[in-house]
Amino acid sequence: MVGGVETIGFSELKQGMRGRVVSVDPHAPALLRLQEMGLTEGAEFLVDKVAPLGDPVEIFLRGYRLCLRKHEAVGILVEVIK
């Protein structure tokens, strides 16, 4: 839980879920790259597709589709939007 908001890790997302980025670990290996692609605190997205084995995950974010491998998204906490 971050700031009173129930959070889950990016790797726990399932197809069709909507989420909002709550925090990004400042020590994440791909932090700068993720921020440049729009994964910043407060950004909302839709999980569009999840590969059969769960990796990669395709999200619809800020008007475009972004595929992320789970190891790239380590340290991203999200709030599920109902």
* Percent of the residues in the chain that have a pLDDT greater than 70, as a whole number: 94
Task: Write down the pLDDT at residue 34.
Answer: 86
- Per residue in 9-24, pLDDT tens? 988 999 999 999 998 8
The per-residue DSSP string of 56-68 comes to SEEEEETTEEEEE
Task: Write down the pLDDT at residue 66.
Answer: 93
Q: Are strands 44-50 and 8-9 parallel, antiparallel or unpaired?
A: unpaired
How does residue 8 score in pLDDT terms, banded at 50, 70 and 90?
very high
Does the pLDDT value for residue 28 go beyond 80? Answer: no
Question: What is the mean pLDDT of the segment spanning 28-52?
Answer: 90
H-only helix segments in the chain: 31-36
Query: In DSSP terms, which residues pair with 9 in a beta bridge?
Result: 77
Geometric angle at alpha carbon 39, from 55 and 29, rounded to 5°: 65
- pTM as predicted: 0.83
Phi–psi pair at 53, nearest 5 degrees? -95, 10
